[in-house]
Structure 1
Amino acid sequence: MNKYLFILLFACLCSCNGCSSDSEDKSAEIVLSNEDLLIKRYNELVVPMFKSYNGIEIPSEFHVDTKDKTINAGASFGYVEVSQGLIEVKKQSLQIFVLSHEVSHIVTISQAKLFGLKGEIPRGAVTNDYKKAEYLADLIAVHLMQTKLPKEFESLYADFDYLQQLLGPVTFTHPSGLDRINSLKEYLLNSKEENEPTAFKKQFLSIWNRD
């Protein structure tokens, strides 16, 4: 009787192990959707870059505009809105830059205070405050990628020509893609000649005080 009981228990254990293995195989086969991948990259790569900004609520909720096929995003306190076009982008570094740029808008004033600046972004006679905000968000995003995600930064840098086209022509609220890329290149050149934190502060102040 004990012999048969042992055989039965052994068979049950083998069966359970087989079930566990099957379960593991099934979980390994799970493929994330493009939307889930973007959210994962945002939470695991983008959000940690902004941890040093104390007291700032980094958006955690995602909204998707399924009708927008362009590469676009926006951020406010509490949520990020992304276009379907951004979700479908194959270049991870570009997705990270776009998302980082939007979050950078939220931390711009906090960064300004760290540099001893007060008030809102000043309006220049030539460069209005809207355009300055775009330059500054670009700068913060690229600086963070360069210092915290260097491989993603290198990939983005290799695509600067494409990014310039993507950023488009000048509008009332946005500088041209050419001017934005040139501003970033100026920072990157200074970061090689000096160091990244010094170049970052220098470029930030230059944009802030631009006429």
Structure 2
Amino acid sequence: MNPVILIVDDDNEIRKLIDIYMKSEGYNTILAENGLIALEKLKENSVDVIILDVMMPIMNGIETCVKIREDSITPIIMLSAKSEDLDKIYGLTSGADDYLTKPFNPLELTARVKSQIRRNQMNNMTSEDVIEIDNLHINLLNREVKIIGEPREIKLTPIEYEILVLLAKNKNRVLTNKVIYESVWNEEFYGAKNSIMVHIRKIREKIENDPKNPKFISTVWGVGYMIEG
């Protein structure tokens, strides 16, 4: 499910501008024109990040932030036309996670929203969200694969990723070509052994330091493949 961003600002044009940029990133949005409406929206919806203007009528951003923090740890980015250090400190001590002064660059705001989403995902991550086998690290939340201690970026195709995750989730167990094919392709196995072999070779080329002497994925001749850990 795509992240949901709550945009709270009494300026209609600013709400629309932020809405456009958030949607361009694939995020879902909820709009509110003041703090009271924002609090009502939060009762009805689960959100991932709140973009909250400070200077608003009825209930300002500081009051709204304090109220939200009574029962929520949702990341809050505050927006304000004031740039003085004291205003920034006040905003952050009221419970905000980040602070941006107006006028702001929408791309910078987008980057900060992304940062808060990533941080929140890492904070909420459980052992079930990550598979670690030796220094092979698979993040199931963002489908990231990396070798700890090595700077290289590992880019797997969707099929390669699914094969690797299947083997990793079943470490120390030999998976036959039939099991791998039917689990990943969701089709009945019709002797697609060569197709699996090609994908395994490509995965090894991306995650192994020496693909010809693989550390992670072992071939069990005549049966299938396995990851030991």
Q: TM-score, normalised by structure 1?
A: 0.26
Task: Say which structure, 1 or 2, has more relative contact order (CA 8 Å, 6+ apart).
Answer: 1
User: Structure 1 or 2: larger strand share?
Assistant: 2
Q: TM-score, normalised by structure 2?
A: 0.24
User: Structure 1 or 2: larger helix share?
Assistant: 1
